[in-house]
Amino acid sequence: AQKVTQAQTEISVVEKEDVTLDCVYETRDTTYYLFWYKQPPSGELVFLIRRNSFDEQNEISGRYSWNFQKSTSSFNFTITASQVVDSAVYFCALSGGNDKLIFGTGTRLQVFP
């Protein structure tokens, strides 16, 4: 069975703090893809990153970085120097043997000024 676990339900930080959102996945597929989406208060899901199972290189995009470790089945997301605009619900998702996305339950991030 495919599953995505985001154990952190809610995280609160003060602006400029670094924060890491955890994601653990389960799949029997050898080829799979991992995603992160952001859902701001407006409700629309915004794509952040896609990673395939053969590429374990970490990725950095501005203040965002992702750490993919197959050995621990984790795909963690770090925001450096958080800002109030980062406040949202963040979802980790898995695409395995078919075309659908399997989402975790999300982590609500609140960044206070």
Partner 1 sequence: DTGVSQDPRHKITKRGQNVTFRCDPISEHNRLYWYRQTLGQGPEFLTYFQNEAQLEKSRLLSDRFSAERPKGSFSTLEIQRTEQGDSAMYLCASSLGPGRAAEQFFGPGTRLTVL
Question: 65-71: long-range contacts at Cβ-Cβ below 8 A with a sequence spacing of 24 or more?
Answer: 66/36, 68/34
Both tokens assigned to 79: 């925001």
The single residue among 22, 45, 65, 78 that binds partner 1, judged by CB under 8 A, is: 45
Instruction: Please give the Cα distance from 75 to 26 (Å, whole number).
Output: 11
Please report whether residue 88 would count as binding partner 1 according to CB under 8 A.
no
Please report whether residue 28 would count as binding partner 1 according to CB under 8 A.
no
Please report whether residue 99 would count as binding partner 1 according to CB under 8 A.
yes
In the bound state with partner 1, the residue whose beta carbon lies nearer, of 52 and 72, is 52
Instruction: Please give the Cα distance from 58 to 6 (Å, whole number).
Output: 19
Placement of tokens 């120097």 in the chain: 81
Please report whether residue 93 would count as binding partner 1 according to CB under 8 A.
yes
User: Taking contact as CB under 8 A, which single stretch among the options 20-28, 58-66, 80-88, 101-109 is the one that binds partner 1?
Assistant: 101-109
Helices (H), the chain: none
Please report whether residue 104 would count as binding partner 1 according to CB under 8 A.
yes
Please report whether residue 75 would count as binding partner 1 according to CB under 8 A.
no
Say which amino acid occupies 92: C
Binding footprint of partner 1 on the chain (CB under 8 A): 4, 31-33, 37, 42-47, 50, 52, 91, 93, 95-96, 98-106
